[in-house]
Structure 1
Amino acid sequence: MRLSEIANKEIIDFEKGERLGVLGQTDVMFDEQTGEIHAFIVPTTRWYQFSKKEKDVTVYWQQIKKIGQDMIIIETDSLS
């Protein structure tokens, strides 16, 4: 699967039922030797009482449970 095939899909946390962001807005951590993807770094923006807070969420490849047509379902507790 190519990165372009999964770009622009929403990332949804299965456990929390929460939208984390869109894959097209992420950075990718990968092995330079093999090209294997290790993780996506998703910037998230939240609004709290008229102020904007930005935080990065790291989604490891092992956390991805399902890649659908419009979204990617992850399970954040799967690395425990």
Structure 2
Amino acid sequence: MLKVSDLRLREVINVVDGRRLGPIKDIDIDVENGTIRALVLNPEGGRMFRMFGRQEDIVIPWENINKIGIDVILVELEQIAYNYE
């Protein structure tokens, strides 16, 4: 069984283009069903680029996660969904 803290240590890679998407910032959990709905990521570049403008979070629905490995999480995203906060 994986802990949320273990997930946050893994890199998230998009298998469509091989791009690193950034570290996991948050996890959207459905508390009624006890399932994960989505991963919320800080885009690559993190805080440094936030100084120069607003950087939106990347939201990855659970259905788009292909594989959770020891070091990486592989996701399949044709188009990246952004969360405008």
| TM-score in same-fold range (> 0.5) | yes
Q: TM-score interval w.r.t. the shorter chain?
A: 0.7 to 0.9
TM-score scaled to structure 2, two decimals? 0.70
More strand by share: 1
1:37 aligned partner, one-letter code? I
> Percent identity between the aligned chains?
30
Cα RMSD between the aligned structures? 2.1
d(CA) in 1 for partners of 2:56, 2:70: 26
Deviation at 1:5, TM superposition (A): 3.1
In the alignment, structure 2 segments of 5+ residues that lack a partner are 79-85
In the alignment, structure 1 segments of 5+ residues that lack a partner are none
The residue aligned with 1:40 is 39
Cα contact 1:43–1:56 (8 A) shared by 2: yes
* Correspondence 1:1-80 to 2 at 5 A: 1-2=1-2, 3-23=4-24, 26-46=25-45, 51=52, 54-77=55-78
Count, aligned residues? 73
